[in-house]
């Protein structure tokens, strides 16, 4: 139990509960609906555990909590002002939901008692405030008493961390926050009694069956998804891939198997279509990972043809995730076998079983040799493309990716964010799971700056050098995240790939113009951010970062990046703006 000699208000009890839950930071944009809780964090707890991370926008606050949770494994906590703050932060909540990331969002509401409301409280109060986000959170509550608030926070913390994980929302009434405590109160700090359940273990017979199927296959393929943010998954994944002689592909927006592993075929567009058995580990969209989607309407962001005849095995908890509001995850996926259990525990069990069963060692060794040849061919093509585009100006995405890696490769780096359009496979040696924290989840642009800062804050003091590569559009939606990083002294290297366009949509405008026989040279209209060109480096300096650029000369990029890395190692946030090609 926690001593409560100075606990005098309802919000003191709420703040102490956050401390008891192990919260190190709360990410917030101020609002009067939680002024009581704000005071308790500042005065009752002294702005120490949890410490307030002031943000310039609610979308940034939730994105920071999202990135922080992925970098640390702990629940990220954000506080949003009643209806308007929740509306502003809602897109980031959707991202966290799709990304299955544990985030506790606390809202201020009310007061529920109409006699306590000011005029603005009427406009900003709602019946069931959580209805705004109920379709894309795991759980929401609006407790009516202080005891109810304590129960809600404990339950929310448990649900957020129960697999499949995700965001939860608790609205704390302003009247409860400002209610005097008539008697001495304490919180129950014995949190082991409120811990989430242990991982769901797989059926041993199913593990044996799946391992045997992989060993007997002619062309097995393993696709790994969200496990990629957990460093513990690297070793069992390598063991399973090598024991079965399977080809390997990463799911979208993740990196799991070491990129230099000879069975890693990322970049080989035929690997998926040739598979006769596909094992999908913790994959969000099973259709995308296996059969693929038709490309008749659009060829943009295609992942290569799928395998319609493969025996599909799904290892995930996906059947327990989501609801009917969003169609995230794709259509009902075809699958021939399933292990509905914790993916990491199942992966470890599959590796053990495959090594124990053995299989035809000569055939598996031959298969591994052939995969190694294909792996080398992919690397050779990447090297040839880099050489061809080495001197391009604007700078090619291949050279940008290569140069950033060369600048940080000697450091203990983490790639906390990378944008779809500011990345090329083949130029960055990722050692395995946990070195890249994955994508935004829901495709909401503006995730990158906040998530990068939140992740970097979670890594602060560990000796890790956080690296983010963002597009210009992503940055321009949430540049204020830089101020929070500078204010809190968060070391971070942020590289901005500025193609001066909403590039993904400009490519769509080109494609639709070609399909309709119209003028594709007009695709830039309503897409390009030039005349004037946005000077993003100046924006970053205005928020307190060290910044360089815009860098247009490819020969100037390496020295600028070296200086930026030194700045980060000294504890600064360093932003490098690169004028890059539109892919």
Judge whether residue 133 has pLDDT over 70: yes
Judge whether residue 523 has pLDDT over 80: no
Judge whether residue 300 has pLDDT over 70: no
Q: pLDDT, tens digit, for every residue of 428-440?
A: 999 999 999 999 8
**What is residue 204's predicted lDDT score, i.e. its pLDDT?**
97
In the block, tokens 């922080």 appear at: 68
For residue 2, what pLDDT band results from cuts at 50, 70 and 90?
Answer: very low
Q: Which two tokens mark 504?
A: 């993904």
Q: What is the DSSP string of 81-137?
A: -HHHHHHHHHHHHHHHHHTT--EEEEEEE--SSGGG--HHHHHT--TTGGGGTGGGS
**What is residue 304's predicted lDDT score, i.e. its pLDDT?**
65
For residue 294, what pLDDT band results from cuts at 50, 70 and 90?
Answer: low
Q: Which two tokens mark 118?
A: 């000011």
Cis before 111? omega within 30: yes
**What is residue 193's predicted lDDT score, i.e. its pLDDT?**
84
**What is residue 297's predicted lDDT score, i.e. its pLDDT?**
63
Average pLDDT in the 68-81 region?
97
pTM, full prediction: 0.95
**What is residue 223's predicted lDDT score, i.e. its pLDDT?**
97
**What is residue 164's predicted lDDT score, i.e. its pLDDT?**
95
How many whole angstroms separate alpha carbon 265 and alpha carbon 124? 53
Q: pLDDT, tens digit, for every residue of 352-409?
A: 999 999 988 999 999 999 999 999 999 999 999 999 999 999 999 999 999 999 999 9
What is the CATH number assigned to the segment(s) 204-380? 3.40.50.1220
**What is residue 106's predicted lDDT score, i.e. its pLDDT?**
97
**What is residue 385's predicted lDDT score, i.e. its pLDDT?**
95
What is the CATH number assigned to the segment(s) 389-579? 3.40.50.970
Bigger pLDDT: 556 vs 307: 556
Longest dimension (CA), the chain: 80
Average pLDDT in the 455-467 region?
97
Q: pLDDT, tens digit, for every residue of 313-355?
A: 999 999 998 887 888 888 888 899 999 999 999 999 999 999 9
Bigger pLDDT: 2 vs 379: 379
**What is residue 421's predicted lDDT score, i.e. its pLDDT?**
65
CATH topology of domain 10-194: Rossmann fold (3.40.50)
**What is residue 247's predicted lDDT score, i.e. its pLDDT?**
97
For residue 305, what pLDDT band results from cuts at 50, 70 and 90?
Answer: confident
User: By three-state DSSP, how is residue 155 classified?
Assistant: helix
**Percent of the chain having pLDDT more than 90?**
74
In order of 228, 259, 274, 397, 434, the CA distances from 235 in angstroms are 12, 14, 26, 31, 12
**What is residue 422's predicted lDDT score, i.e. its pLDDT?**
67
CB under 8 Å to 219, separation ≥6 — which residues?
A: 247, 274, 275, 276, 277, 367
For residue 410, what pLDDT band results from cuts at 50, 70 and 90?
Answer: very high
CB under 8 Å to 352, separation ≥6 — which residues?
A: none
**What is residue 3's predicted lDDT score, i.e. its pLDDT?**
39
Q: CB under 8 Å, gap of 24 or more: what pairs does 39-48 form?
A: 39/9, 39/11, 40/9, 40/11, 40/12, 40/14, 40/15, 40/177, 41/15, 44/6, 44/7, 44/9, 44/11, 44/12, 44/15, 44/16, 45/15, 45/16, 45/19
Judge whether residue 1 has pLDDT over 60: no
For residue 427, what pLDDT band results from cuts at 50, 70 and 90?
Answer: very high
In order of 101, 226, 229, 238, the CA distances from 232 in angstroms are 17, 12, 9, 11
**What is residue 4's predicted lDDT score, i.e. its pLDDT?**
45
Which phi and psi (to 5°) does residue 376 adopt? Answer: -65, -35
How many whole angstroms separate alpha carbon 23 and alpha carbon 47? 12
In this structure, are residues 247 and 265 in contact, taking their beta carbons and an 8 Å threshold?
Answer: yes
Bigger pLDDT: 252 vs 186: 252
Average pLDDT in the 261-281 region?
94
Delimit the CATH 3.40.50.970 region(s) of the chain.
Answer: 10-194, 389-579
Delimit the CATH 3.40.50.1220 region(s) of the chain.
Answer: 204-380
In this structure, are residues 510 and 535 in contact, taking their beta carbons and an 8 Å threshold?
Answer: no
Q: pLDDT, tens digit, for every residue of 12-60?
A: 999 999 999 999 999 999 999 999 999 999 999 999 999 999 999 999 9
């Amino acid at each position: 139990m926690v001593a409560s000699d100075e606990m005098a208000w309802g919000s003191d009890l709420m703040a102490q509960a956050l401390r008891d839950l192990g919260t190190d930071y709360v990410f917030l944009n101020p609002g009067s609906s939680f002024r009581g809780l704000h005071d308790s964090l500042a005065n009752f707890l002294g702005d120490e555990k949890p410490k307030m991370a002031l943000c310039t926008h609610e979308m940034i606050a939730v994105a920071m909590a999202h990135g922080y949770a992925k970098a640390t494994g702990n629940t990220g906590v954000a506080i949003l002002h009643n209806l308007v703050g929740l509306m502003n932060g809602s897109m980031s909540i959707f991202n966290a939901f799709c990304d299955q990331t544990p985030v506790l969002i606390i809202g201020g509401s009310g007061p529920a008692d109409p006699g306590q409301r000011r005029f603005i409280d009427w406009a900003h109060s709602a019946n069931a405030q959580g209805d705004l986000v109920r379709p894309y959170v795991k759980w929401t509550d609006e407790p009516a008493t202080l005891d109810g608030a304590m129960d809600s926070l404990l339950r929310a913390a448990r649900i957020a961390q129960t697999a499949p994980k995700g965001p939860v929302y608790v609205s704390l009434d302003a009247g409860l926050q400002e209610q005097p405590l008539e008697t001495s109160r304490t919180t129950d700090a014995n949190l082991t009694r409120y811990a989430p359940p242990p991982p769901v273990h797989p059926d041993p017979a199913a593990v044996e069956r799946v391992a045997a199927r992989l060993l007997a296959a002619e062309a097995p393929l393993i696709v790994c998804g969200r496990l990629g943010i957990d460093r513990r998954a690297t070793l069992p994944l390598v063991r399973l891939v090598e024991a079965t002689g399977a080809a390997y592909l990463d799911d979208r927006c993740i990196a799991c198997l070491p990129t230099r592993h000879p069975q890693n075929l990322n970049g080989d567009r035929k690997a998926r279509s040739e598979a006769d058995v596909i094992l999908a580990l913790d994959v969000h969209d099973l259709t995308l990972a296996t059969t693929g989607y038709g490309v008749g309407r659009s060829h943009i962001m295609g992942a290569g043809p799928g395998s319609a005849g493969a025996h599909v095995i799904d290892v995930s908890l996906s059947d327990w995730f989501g609801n009917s509001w969003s169609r995230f995850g794709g259509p009902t996926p075809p699958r021939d076998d399933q292990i509905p259990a914790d993916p990491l525990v199942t992966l470890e069990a599959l590796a053990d079983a495959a090594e124990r069963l053995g299989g035809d060692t000569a055939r598996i060794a031959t298969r591994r040799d052939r995969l190694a040849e294909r792996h080398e061919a992919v690397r050779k093509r990447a090297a040839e493309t880099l050489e061809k585009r080495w001197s391009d100006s604007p700078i090619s995405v291949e050279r940008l990716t290569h140069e950033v890696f060369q600048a940080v490769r000697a450091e203990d780096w983490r790639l906390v964010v990378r944008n779809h359009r500011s990345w090329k496979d083949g130029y960055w040696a990722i050692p395995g799971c946990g070195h890249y924290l994955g994508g935004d989840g829901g495709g909401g642009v503006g995730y990158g700056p906040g998530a990068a800062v939140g992740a970097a804050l979670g890594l602060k003091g560990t000796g890790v050098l956080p690296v983010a590569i963002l597009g210009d559009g992503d940055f321009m939606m949430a540049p204020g995240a830089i101020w929070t990083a500078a204010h809190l002294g968060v070391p971070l290297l942020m590289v901005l790939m500025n193609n001066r366009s909403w590039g993904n949509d400009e490519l769509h405008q080109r494609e639709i113009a070609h399909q309709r026989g119209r003028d594709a040279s007009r695709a830039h209209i309503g897409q390009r951010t030039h005349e004037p060109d946005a000077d993003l480096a100046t924006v970053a300096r205005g928020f307190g970062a060290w910044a360089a650029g815009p860098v247009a000369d490819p020969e100037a990029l390496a020295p600028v990046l070296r200086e930026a890395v030194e700045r980060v190692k000294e504890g600064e946030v360093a932003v490098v703006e690169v004028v890059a090609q539109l892919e």
